[in-house]
A and B are shown apart, each in its own frame.
Chain A
Amino acid sequence: MNKTVSNADEAVSDIQDGMTLMMGGFGMSGLPENCIAALVKKGVKDLTCISNNAGVDDFGIGLMLKQRQVKKMISSYVGENAEFERQLLSGELEVELIPQGTLATRCMAAGYGMPAIFTPAGIGTEVAIGKEVRNFNGKDYLMEMAFEADFAIVKAWKGDTMGNLIYRATARNFNAVMAMAGKVTIAEVEELVEPGELDPNFIHTPGIYVHRIFQGVNYEKRIEQRTVRKRT
């Protein structure tokens, strides 16, 4: 069951205008850099992007925003992006801000085949407006629906040609939950190996969830906040 495609261009070739995409990553960490570049090159537009953040002006989803390819962002935190703020304030971009745990769990629900989840996050706030509230054991919970995404685009550390994935450190973040949640899941990896080379005991995303895989090139892996301590 070989799911290898040759590169990012081939992987995103059938993504159409108006589709809904999940994009893995947290801040700059674990971003599918190759697929973002391919989407910018392809020029596909009117996209709805489900992603925890919206990148910065010249990196991540920020590159797609700059080309006006995104119609709607569904995110939990979108600071640090001047172009994003401009498009939002001018009404060119629609934004739905939702709690980070709700975002992750709505992805999880999709990957686990559950239509909805109940979470206390947002009870009593504007996030709860128009949503069903249920009380369990004396506490109120919001019903939140599983996401439906045409494509999930994720980045992993290692993968094999069958689509099994392993992530590295905190670059796992949303990648592992989104990988399970797309109608079609595209995985780009730093290192692509043959079946049998990855230890089955340490697979994070089983290949059944992944439809296309390729080895990415030229990862920049930018750091958003470089914080260090001095050697004493």
Chain B
Amino acid sequence: MLDKEGIAKRIAKEIKDGYYVNLGIGIPTLVANYIPENIDVVLQSENGLLGMGPFPFEGEEDADIINAGKQTITMLPGSAVFDSAMSFGMIRAKKVNLTILGAMEVSENGDIANWKIPGKMVKGMGGAMDLVASAENIIVAMQHVNKAGESKLLPNCTLPLTGVNCVKKIVTELAVLDVLPEGGFKLLERAPGVSVEEIKKATAGKLIIEGDIPEMII
């Protein structure tokens, strides 16, 4: 079973040389720490920055330089800043190659819910609806089951949707799965020490298992 860092490490392997990548809040933010050094990647922050760098050294924080999670960050050489309309323009125009975000639920046809729990959480969708509606390559980073032990990979989402038919791949503490265009979670890899049976038990939606499922290499 993977911890959060492990999920981030596995997702980092999906990032290719030359990609512009948008990382959501939570586990996706950790992915930045594991991007292989031999590839060139530019991180986009939807509040208006391309070229996001690591956190600043203590004492060098700047209130004018933050990411979409409102954290103080740095700008790498070659960065560009722009307004919010242009930021979502480049997202809508599919210039951003990969979007990695968290989710509360994903359905077997690729619907995602991650912004609202009726009666409980009213924080808002931020940029998530724009990102999932336009990105061609969306990876979800999340736990396989929620705190109550219920599967988050479902036949249909029960929470208000963020977007429909959009998630392509899911990485959890148990597995890597593709969401097939025709519907269903196709099991690609098992986390170290996790059996196919355990993954079956934790997946409420249609799980497709073909042949031997390899253990993931991270």
Q: Do the two chains belong together in a single complex? A: yes
Which chain A residues have a beta carbon within 8 Å of chain B's beta carbons? 26-30, 52, 75-79, 85, 88-89, 95, 97, 99-105, 107-108, 119-127, 157, 168-177, 204, 221-231
Q: List 21 A-B contacts (CB under 8 A).
A: A28-B70, A29-B63, A76-B124, A99-B128, A99-B129, A101-B84, A101-B129, A101-B130, A105-B85, A121-B134, A125-B163, A169-B49, A169-B62, A172-B48, A172-B83, A222-B63, A224-B66, A228-B61, A229-B55, A229-B56, A230-B57
B160 cross-chain contacts in A, Cβ below 8 A: 125-126
Q: A169-B81, A225-B71 are in contact. Are A122 and B129 (CB under 8 A)?
A: yes
B66 cross-chain contacts in A, Cβ below 8 A: 26-27, 29, 170, 223-225
Bound-state CA distance A173–B47 (Å) is 6
User: Closest approach, in angstroms, between the C-beta of B27 and any C-beta of chain A?
Assistant: 16
A175 cross-chain contacts in B, Cβ below 8 A: 83
B161 CB–A CB distance under 8 Å = yes
Bound-state CA distance A227–B73 (Å) is 7
Among the listed B46, B61, B127, B161, which residue makes an inter-chain contact with A223, where contact means beta carbons less than 8 Å apart? Answer: B61
Does B61 lie within 8 Å of A104, measured CB to CB?
no
Does A26 lie within 8 Å of B84, measured CB to CB?
yes
Q: A122-B133, A125-B129 are in contact. Are A225 and B47 (CB under 8 A)?
A: no
Does B72 lie within 8 Å of A101, measured CB to CB?
no
Bound-state CA distance A30–B123 (Å) is 21
B165 cross-chain contacts in A, Cβ below 8 A: 124
Residue of B nearest to A84 (CB): B122
Residue of A nearest to B75 (CB): A169
Residue of A nearest to B72 (CB): A227
Does A101 lie within 8 Å of B127, measured CB to CB?
yes
A227 cross-chain contacts in B, Cβ below 8 A: 55, 61, 71-73
Contact-residue bracket for chain B:
35 or more
Does A119 lie within 8 Å of B130, measured CB to CB?
yes
A170 cross-chain contacts in B, Cβ below 8 A: 45, 47-49, 64-67, 81
| B residues 68-95 in Cβ contact with A at 8 Å | 68-73, 75, 81-85, 87-89, 91-92
A26 cross-chain contacts in B, Cβ below 8 A: 47-48, 66, 68, 70, 84
Does B85 lie within 8 Å of A177, measured CB to CB?
yes
Please give 10 more A-B residue pairs, beta carbons under 8 A apart, in addition to A102-B130, A170-B48. A29-B63, A89-B122, A99-B126, A100-B125, A121-B130, A122-B129, A169-B65, A173-B48, A229-B55, A230-B57
Bound-state CA distance A106–B218 (Å) is 43
Bound-state CA distance A171–B64 (Å) is 5
Does A104 lie within 8 Å of B72, measured CB to CB?
no
Bound-state CA distance A74–B49 (Å) is 24
Fill in one digit per residue for B137-175: 1 if any A CB lies within 8 Å of its CB, else 0: 000000000000000000000001111110000000000
User: Closest approach, in angstroms, between the C-beta of B195 and any C-beta of chain A?
Assistant: 35
User: Closest approach, in angstroms, between the C-beta of A134 and any C-beta of chain B?
Assistant: 14
Does A174 lie within 8 Å of B84, measured CB to CB?
yes
Does A120 lie within 8 Å of B134, measured CB to CB?
yes
B36 CB–A CB distance under 8 Å = no
Does A78 lie within 8 Å of B81, measured CB to CB?
no
User: Closest approach, in angstroms, between the C-beta of A31 and any C-beta of chain B?
Assistant: 10
Among the listed A122, A168, A226, which residue makes an inter-chain contact with B61, where contact means beta carbons less than 8 Å apart? Answer: A226
Does B129 lie within 8 Å of A127, measured CB to CB?
yes
User: Closest approach, in angstroms, between the C-beta of A83 and any C-beta of chain B?
Assistant: 13
B54 CB–A CB distance under 8 Å = yes
B126 cross-chain contacts in A, Cβ below 8 A: 76-77, 99-100
B58 CB–A CB distance under 8 Å = yes
Q: Which 8 pairs between the two chains have the least Cβ-Cβ distance?
A: A101-B88, A101-B130, A124-B164, A79-B123, A104-B84, A176-B83, A221-B63, A120-B133
